[in-house]
Amino acid sequence: LTQAALEAQLDTPGGPLTVYNVHFLPFLLLPFEIRRWQAVGKLLEIIGKRPSTPHLIIGDVNAIGPGDRVLQHKNPARMRRVMLLQFRLIFRLAIPRLLRAGYTDCFRHLHPHADGFTWWSINPTTRYDYIFADPQMLPRLKSCRVVTDHPAIRHASDHFPLLAEFSQSAD
């Protein structure tokens, strides 16, 4: 991968769980989305070489999912200017690639109509952060939400955290 990804193998009461934490390139311009699409392909290749254990892909994907909106008019001026370079078009390649590979966007699965903006914590406009469940983890999904209600959050990052809860087994 040319972009950051960490793999953690966890022993949980429900059995082994692998978590892939990613941080892909920012900017909504097409060349960056192509790089994210390539990074997703490389990540899927790496995962495909591992034993088939339950796993999640989480992190700052810096991409826009199908049907998600972006409040471009509320973004910082520099971002609005950059988006003018591609006529304000938003390309959606990286996340659909994950979805086609069988992963489920946990937040969107439980909240099909909510914005779920995770960026910009000062003035939320965009959803860049995701938790994707593989088919083994999806039946365990109990909840997923954007954490906005802690006073320290707005000072900790320019992103809101995303929190998902899973049961120990698929009941």
Q: Which helix (H) or strand (E) holds 19?
A: strand 15-23
Lowest-confidence segment of 16-20, 102-106, 133-137, 167-171 by average pLDDT: 167-171
Q: What is the pLDDT of residues 72-96, one digit of tens each?
A: 999 999 999 989 999 999 999 999 9
Confidence of residue 169 (pLDDT cuts 50, 70, 90): confident
What DSSP string describes 25-40? ----SHHHHHHHHHHH
Work out the mean pLDDT of the chain and round it to a whole number: 94
Instruction: Indicate if the pLDDT at residue 170 is higher than 90.
Output: no
Q: Given CA atoms 61, 62, 66, 68 in this order, what sign does their dihedral have?
A: positive
Give the pLDDT confidence score for residue 150 in this predicted structure. 86
Which domains occur in the chain, in start order?
Answer: 4-166 (3.60.10.10)
The contacts of residue 61 (CB under 8 Å, 6+ apart) are 22, 24, 36, 94, 95, 128, 129, 130
By three-state DSSP, how is residue 123 classified? Answer: coil
Instruction: Indicate if the pLDDT at residue 53 is higher than 70.
Output: yes
Give the pLDDT confidence score for residue 71 in this predicted structure. 96
By percentage, how much of the chain surpasses pLDDT 90? 85
By three-state DSSP, how is residue 118 classified? Answer: coil
Compute the average pLDDT of residues 38-56. 96
pTM value is: 0.95
